[in-house]
Structure 1
Amino acid sequence: MFSNKKSEALLAKIREGAPLMGREKLRLIVELSIPSILAQITSVLMFYIDASMVGSLGTEASAAIGLVEPASWLFGSLTGAASMGFAVQVAHFIGANDFRQARRVMKHGYLFCFVFSLVLMAVACGVSGPLPRWLGGGSDIQHDASAYFFIFSLAAPFFMMENLSSAMLKSSGDMRRPSTIAVLACVLDVVFNFLLIFPSRTVSVLGMDVPLWGAGLRVEGAALGTSLAYVVTSLILVWFNVRRSPILAWHLDRERFVWQPAYVMKALKISAPMALQYVLMNGAQIVSTMIVAPLGNVAIAANSFAVTAESLCYMPGYGIGDAASTLVGQTFGAGRQDLCRSFAWLTIGLGMGVMAVMGVVMYVFAPEMIGFLTPVAAIRELGTRVLRIEAFAEPFFAASIVAFRVCLGAGDTLKPAVMNLASMWCVRLTLAYALSQHYGLVGVWVAMALELTFRGCIFLFRIARGRWYMKPQTEKAES
């Protein structure tokens, strides 16, 4: 059913100005969404398995990683923001049937983002030592938390190249290869972590005792395993982009590479609001962690595990959001306003429907989802309670996820970034602090559910007003 050739044929109809029937539009959304959703879910399962491995080491190890997790998200978000500034331009040029300029943008993206990743790595490594203390972590987890974040930071260039290469392929309409590589990253991560976290031991296989090597690095092994997985997969993705992509491969160009500042300036115009948003949004996550930290190690661990468990339910939203960015980006570049709006509403509606179902699943199976991650009864009980609170907000969370990606596809990032920030800082953190004083971690998650519902509503209002769509402005660089 999900034929890559059929998807390419439908995308070609967008570029050629041919009409699309409602069934064709829905088919295209589904065919672009499915690989990305599967990759997102596999990624979450990877985090599940990682968390369960670390969880088996005890509450302190889980709390150490949970403490610096928001800072790690900031790390990944900045690489994503830098990548999207170039990927959106690539989608616009491909929609306009200008493949040569799409390749030019990609080359500029690789050079700029690599340099940026080195700066990011230096800053992250520099703050890794005092970071756990700044976040309010106890002395019993500060060493492990610092070590985890330091190792994670060293892989910045590979995280960046993986993110950029994947974004470029998705902008061209190729969801399958980056999704397949994402699955490979998950498999490698599990294997590396299994070998690096635990010490050498004997395992029973079909009744036979088999000696198994292990490095016994515990929390440090978890960071090293994840980093090594991204090293391998980033190299594969870069190779495919540069050598094998039918649209983006560099050998398709004959002229010399000439630096064009206009591409970078436009990328910064798109990326800067996203980067600021990610910094302040993840800063808000860090503040949220600081609100949770005084509640104790059980609350820190339960909060971290509940976030991991919830991510299994909202990953389909991000998968559909990837399809929305590609389709809106290419229709925007092609100047097809009606089709662009149609894809926007179809993807948002599909995202809300899928995540409503996932919210029901999360509510029903919350005990099992948390129980898989930790054997500690107190953490299980608290994690289950907060996860069930969040289940009610999933449809509106989907609206905010997909609508933001719709805006991104059209190059509209400033106002959506302000909307995200206002919602997080003015609604979530204010409520979280007030409710945590009386209801502990449960109060923090009630605040989260209310804020996500509010955020979804304001994004639906923005899409309905239509201000996110502007006339295509694909600059023609000098030949």
Structure 2
Amino acid sequence: MTFKQQLELTIRLSIPAVVAQISYIVMQYIDASMVGSLGAEASASIGLVSTSTWLFWGVCVASATGFSVQVAHHIGAKEFGQARAVLRQSFVATTIFSLFLTVIGVLVSTPLPVWLGGDVAIQHDASSYFLIFILFLPILQLNFLAGGMLRCSGNMHVPSMLNVLMCIMDVVFNFFLIYPSRELEIGNISVFVPGAGLGVEGAALGTGLAEMLVAIMMTWYLCRCSKELALVGRPGSFFLTSKVLIKSFKIGVPMCVEHIVICGAQILTTVIVAPLGIFAIAANSFAITAESLCYMPGYGIADAATTLIGQSLGAGRKDLTRSFARITVATGMLVMGVMDGVMYWAAPLIIGAMTPDAEILSLGVMALRIEAFAEPMFAAAIVAYGVFIGTGDTLMPSIMNFVSIWAVRLSLASCLAPSMGLKGVWLAMCIELCFRGMIFLIRLEKGKWIKIT
């Protein structure tokens, strides 16, 4: 393939993946905006447990990736029967795993807000939001698995379109579940709108229902319509084999540990922020959601990188593997650099759409504008990680993330927060992301990861 062909393929795979990632963040943005209208306490209750939901979310992604990377390798080698065998086993293994996580989540849902240092006024809503999220976890796991399998087969469009649909359904469900029944004035006409009035719980339930419907549609398409992976009409065993499980453990366990470590650090950051007050918790949560609009395109390009690298390596094309790695990382840095400028300029508009509170707005804008300086290097870390996943190389990148976050971010945040407040926490994050991007770029250029098969 020429450089132009490689670039075109990268863009063609990246755009649908970016749309999918942005739609997911838009869904979070909508949740935050709709709940934000209920007041600072409602926003803070979600913000308090958001890092904990990411912990469970990330572990589910890691378990699905342990199987989807194997599928990418088999498809690259034209071994479609073996790819479908891995898919069958993945359904069984990830279902068992997600049910196990659900039990753990239910057990910790009540004491969690207390452990995180949340104010008594927000503990009940925070606990309820987390519990509803956890009960939908097996559905979310299925969503991640089906979407990951389709993307690794080269099909970016169907997962992207369904994720956009999920975003739309989330808005509709939230509209009726969060707010009570009310009269809406449309011009000179008054319209009665029924509502459940569930508040924070309604936001969690609306998101869960949207995820459930999309998971059903995504799985149906994967099993019936996928050219490479459809299982309907192709009988086979769902019995778990040691070969597939061992390989999935080698890929997924380091990712799983890394997500636990990173989210553990994020939870500890929440503990650092919690004593700063309800306004700081809400502003921190809103800023994280708003920042996602900037960095989620990087994750979309990383998804494309995983597919391109996995299939190139499966086909035995190490020259193409290195070339796609450089192209995807450079593309991610360029895209997030542009988004970075938009985020800095539009910070007051972005945060203002989520909250009418002046103090939360001021703190949120400050956090976003500090973080804007780190986004290109953050892109380098995100996409390079996607490259390494495509080869099945997850252990060393996980160690790098661990060292960067725990040794740099948390140590700086704990030192700066007492004197600088929320500003110190986000300054520490900015410095750490620049450091992380640098070490990932160094490893990418050394090229030793290409030898891992």
Deviation at 1:205, TM superposition (A): 2.6
Residues 1:440 and 2:406 aligned together = no
**Equivalent in the alignment of 2:131:** 150
Structure 1 residue 470: deviation in Å? 2.1
Aligned in 2, Cα 1:409/1:103: closer, same or farther, shift over 3 Å? Answer: same
Query: CA offset at residue 252 of structure 1?
Result: 5.3
Q: 1:412 to 1:212 in 2, by over 3 A?
A: same
**In the TM superposition, what is the alpha-carbon distance from 1:43 to its structure 2 partner?**
1.8
Is there any run of 5+ residues in structure 2 with no aligned partner, and where? none
Q: Return 181-190 or 246-255, whichever deviates more.
A: 246-255
* Cα deviations by residue, 1:7-40 (Å, 9 ceiling, x for unpaired): xxxxxxxxxxxxx111110010000000111121
Partner of 2:244: 263
Deviations 1:101-160 (A, max 9, x none): 000000010110001111011100110000000000010000000010001100011000
Q: Contact 1:85/1:271 (CA < 8 Å) preserved in 2?
A: yes
Tell me how far 1:74 sits from its aligned partner: 0.7
Q: Give 5+ residue unaligned stretches, structure 1.
A: 1-19, 473-479
Which residue is equivalent to 1:297? 278
Q: Does 1:230 align with 2:211?
A: yes
**Alignment equivalent of 1:55, drawn from 14, 36, 49:** 36
Compared with structure 1, are the counterparts of its residues 141 and 171 closer, same or farther at alpha carbon in structure 2 (3 Å cutoff)? same
Quote the residue 2:223 is aligned against. Answer: 242
Partner Cα separation in structure 2 for residue 206 and residue 44 of structure 1: 32
Matched, 1:83 2:67: no
Corresponding position of 1:449: 430
1:71 aligns with 2:47: no
1:115–1:256 CA distance, 2 compared to 1 (3 A): closer
CA–CA distance in 2 between the matches of 1:435 and 1:40? 32
1:212 lines up with 2:186 in the alignment: no
- 1:134-145 alignment to 2 at 5 Å? 134-145=115-126
Residue 254 of structure 1: CA displacement? 4.5
Bigger drift between 199-208 and 395-404 goes to 199-208
Cα drift, residue 357 of structure 1: 0.9
The 8 Å contact of residues 85 and 270 in structure 1, kept in 2 or not, is answered as yes
Deviation at 1:259, TM superposition (A): 3.7
| Residue aligning to 2:291 | 310
Aligned-partner Cα distance in 2 for 1:257–1:40: 31
The aligned runs of 1:326-405 (5 Å cut-off) are 326-405=307-386
Cα distance in 1 for partners of 2:283, 2:290 equals 10
Return structure 1 stretches of 4+ with deviation > 3 angstroms.
254-259
RMSD of Structure 2 on Structure 1 (CA): 0.9
Find the aligned partners of 1:64 and 1:362 in 2 and give their Cα distance: 25
1:467 to 431, 448, 452: 448
Map of 1:15 onto structure 2: none
SS of residue paired to 2:441: helix
Alignment of structure 1 residues 15-30 onto 2, 5 Å: 20-30=1-11
Question: In the alignment, does 2:163 pair up with 1:182?
Answer: yes
Residues 100 and 253 of structure 1 are in contact (CA less than 8 Å); yes or no, is this contact kept in structure 2?
no
- Answer yes or no: is the 8 Å Cα contact 1:352–1:395 preserved in 2: yes
Task: Give the AA of the match of 2:269.
Answer: S
Q: Residue 37 of structure 1: SS of its match in structure 2?
A: helix
Opposite residue 23 of structure 1, the aligned amino acid is: K
Query: What secondary structure is seen at the aligned counterpart in 2 of 1:209?
Result: strand
Residue in 2 that maps onto 1:427: 408
Residues in 2 aligned to 1:244 and 1:346: alpha-carbon distance in whole angstroms: 31
Are 1:90 and 1:102, in contact at CA under 8 Å, matched by a contact in 2?
yes
Structure 1 residue 161 and structure 2 residue 118: aligned?
no
- Structure 2 distance, partners of 1:257, 1:120, is 22
Q: 1-side partners of 2:46 and 2:158: how far apart?
A: 30
Q: Which amino acid aligns with 1:126?
A: L
Q: For residue 260 of structure 1, report the CA deviation from its aligned partner.
A: 2.0
Separation (CA, whole Å) in 1 of partners of 2:393 and 2:274: 36
Instruction: Report the AA paired with residue 427 of structure 2.
Output: V
Pair 81,471 (structure 1): closer, same or farther in 2 beyond 3 Å: closer
Q: Structure 1 residues 146, 256: closer, same or farther in 2, change over 3 A?
A: closer
* Post-superposition CA distance 1:298-319 (Å, at most 9, x none): 1000000000110000111011
Q: Is the 8 A contact 1:32 1:323 kept in 2?
A: yes
TM-superposed deviation, 1:400:
0.2
Q: CA shift at 1:213, angstroms?
A: 0.5
SS of the residue aligned with 2:451? coil
Alignment pair present for 1:37 and 2:13: no
Query: What CA distance in whole angstroms lies between the structure 2 residues aligned with 1:324 and 1:207?
Result: 53
Q: Distance in 2 between matches of 1:413 and 1:252?
A: 35
Question: 1:249 offset after TM fit, Å?
Answer: 0.5
The answer to whether the 8 A contact 1:280-1:421 is kept is yes
State the distance in 1 between where 2:147 and 2:42 align: 32
What TM-score results when the alignment is normalised by the length of structure 1?
0.93
Question: 1:257 & 1:217 partners in 2: Cα distance?
Answer: 41
Provide the identity percentage: 53
Deviation at 1:255, TM superposition (A): 4.8
Relative to structure 2, which stretch is displaced further, 162-171 or 249-258?
Answer: 249-258
What is the alpha-carbon distance in structure 1 between the residues aligned to residue 203 and residue 290 of structure 2? 18
TM-score, with length taken from structure 2: 0.99
